[in-house]
Amino acid sequence: MALPDAFQHLALPLISAPMFLVSGPELVIEACKAGVIGTFPALNQRSSEGFEEWLQTIRSALDEFEASTGRKAAPFGVNLIVHQSNPRLQADLALCAKYQVPLIITSLGAVAELVDAVHDYGGVVFHDVINVRHAKKAASAGVDGLIAVCAGAGGHAGTLSPFALVGEIRQFFDKTVILSGCLSSGQDIATAQMLGADLAYMGTRFINTRESQAADEYKDMIVDAAAGDIVYTPEISGVPANFLRPSLVAAGLDPDNLAPKKDIDFGKELQAPKEGAKAWKTIWSAGQGVANIHDVPTVAELVQRLQDEYQAAGERFSRLSQRYGVAAGEGIAEGAAL
Ligand SMILES: Cc1cc2nc3c(=O)[nH]c(=O)nc-3n(C[C@H](O)[C@H](O)[C@H](O)COP(=O)(O)O)c2cc1C
């Protein structure tokens, strides 16, 4: 395990992933109170002033929680888009330093100056990657963790299997590795660790919580969806991403014949043919793990359930390892219940 010091006291090795238009202060606060890392994209607020208000809200809610319960909240994190289309980067980074945001998650660009600036105030930087080339670049920029965004993830997903990407990253990177893509249960969190990751990263599962900012129709669509309802396409946001097929249809698009899109812009919502239809806002993203999501619990209920499942998965594995851990030729332990 390679975890930064500030992350040693989590209830689960889990990050509630940042999601455009979905993660806000309520979700972050409840995740941190429940003992898992809560995060949000800075761009979920339309201005740096609004972003600062959210930082104040989160800081004061977590301070109050710690003072009134005597328990420690998990650290929280902010996602910054490091790309020329984000003119707020420097202003938002300065606010992260002012409020000592414990975790910065960078997307697109991994820049040594930014990593140094975050280290200077005592924060850590995780960078999300979909391939080994970007992972090596980010490692040499000095990031503290690499988020392996694998096939089937919600948002801008990769195409690599987690077995391949985590395994390859581990060959040159001994800091924190975080696995992203289709994780929905406590068993999935345990599996991420078995695969060699230190932390699990869950997006879509947290869309379907009471505290997320997603519309009820979005949550219902996730409950009804299976992996076959997820369309992987670059034509909505300019970069390959996973979207819910019924939301593409509702926007007046033909999911199997989408028009090519040339520009990339992460800060704006994008227009679709049907009036009022916009990428992320009404054309909804989700990962292939949707079939394992059946409800909309509170974050606290969800984290409790994930802990129970994680525990059960660990017990099951320890029975399995006893059964299969015998020396070759000794045979299988009799009556080993799996
Ligand atoms: C609706 C939605 C919006 C997202 N927005 C962002 C974002 O703004 N920044 C980011 O780094 N990742 C974003 N992601 C990706 C998630 O942080 C995470 O990598 C992904 O959801 C994990 O896969 P899963 O959804 O299968 O759990 C988004 C994902 C979804 C589903």
Give me the phi and psi of 279, to 5 degrees please.
-60, 140
The pLDDT assigned to 259 comes to: 82
Which atom from ligand 1 is nearest to the alpha carbon of 105? 11
- Whole-number pLDDT of residue 18: 98
* Closest atom of ligand 1 relative to the 287 alpha carbon: 26
Tell me, what amino acid is at 199?
Answer: L
Taking only the tens place, the pLDDT of each residue in 166-215 is 999 999 999 999 999 999 999 999 999 999 999 999 999 999 999 999 99
Helix %, strand %, coil % of the chain (to 5)? 40, 15, 45
Q: What integer is the mean pLDDT of 88-95? A: 97
Mean predicted confidence (pLDDT) in 285-307: 98
Atom of ligand 1 nearest to the CA of 266: 8
Q: What is the pLDDT of residue 85?
A: 87
271 pLDDT tier (thresholds 50, 70, 90) = low
Binning pLDDT at 50, 70 and 90, where does residue 338 land?
low
Give residue 238 CA to ligand 1 midpoint distance, Å: 15
E-only strand ranges, 55-151:
76-82, 103-108, 124-129, 145-149
**Side chain identity at 229, as an amino acid letter?**
D
Distance 72 CA to ligand 1 centre (A): 26
pLDDT reported for residue 325: 76
Share of the chain above pLDDT 90, in %: 86
Average pLDDT for the chain? 93
For ligand 1, say whether the CB of 286 is within 6 Å of any of its atoms: yes
Residue 56 has pLDDT above 90, yes or no: yes
- Ligand 1 centre distance from Cα of residue 208 (Å): 13
Question: Which protein residue has the closest C-alpha to ligand 1 atom 21?
Answer: 203
Q: What is the pLDDT confidence band of residue 274, given thresholds at 50, 70 and 90?
A: confident
Tell how far the Cα of 64 is from the centroid of ligand 1, in angstroms: 29
pLDDT class for 2, splitting at 50, 70, 90? Answer: confident
Distance 154 CA to ligand 1 centre (A): 5
Residue type, 146: L
What residue owns the CA closest to ligand 1's atom 31? 154
CATH class of 7-213: alpha beta
19: Cβ–Cβ under 8 A, 6 or more apart, which residues?
A: 40, 41, 154, 155, 203, 206, 207, 212, 285
Tell me which of 114-118, 134-138, 279-283 is least confident: 279-283
* pLDDT of 154 strictly over 70: yes
What's the mean pLDDT in 285-291?
Answer: 98
C-alpha span between 152 and 173 (Å, rounded): 23
Mean pLDDT of 132-157: 98
Task: State the pLDDT confidence band at 267, using cuts at 50, 70 and 90.
Answer: very low
Answer whether 80's CB lies under 8 Å from 40's CB: no
What is the arithmetic mean of pLDDT over 33-55?
97
Q: Is the pLDDT of residue 9 over 50?
A: yes
Does ligand 1 come within 6 angstroms of the Cβ of 158?
no
pLDDT for position 333: 57
Q: Which of the pair, 2 or 122, is modelled with greater confidence?
A: 122
Q: Which atom of ligand 1 is found nearest the CA of 284?
A: 1
CB 13 near ligand 1, within 6 Å: no
16 C-alpha to ligand 1 centroid (Å): 10
Pairwise CA distance, residues 284 & 260, whole Å? 18
| Res 36 pLDDT > 90 | yes
> Ligand 1 pocket check: which of 19, 183, 184 to mutate, most ligand atoms within 8 Å of Cβ?
19
* d(CA 258, ligand 1 centre) in Å: 22
pLDDT for residue 277: 80
Of residues 325 and 174, more confidence is placed in 174
Mutate to test the pocket of ligand 1, among 15, 16, 20 (most ligand atoms within 8 A of CB): 20
Structural domain spans, the chain: 7-213
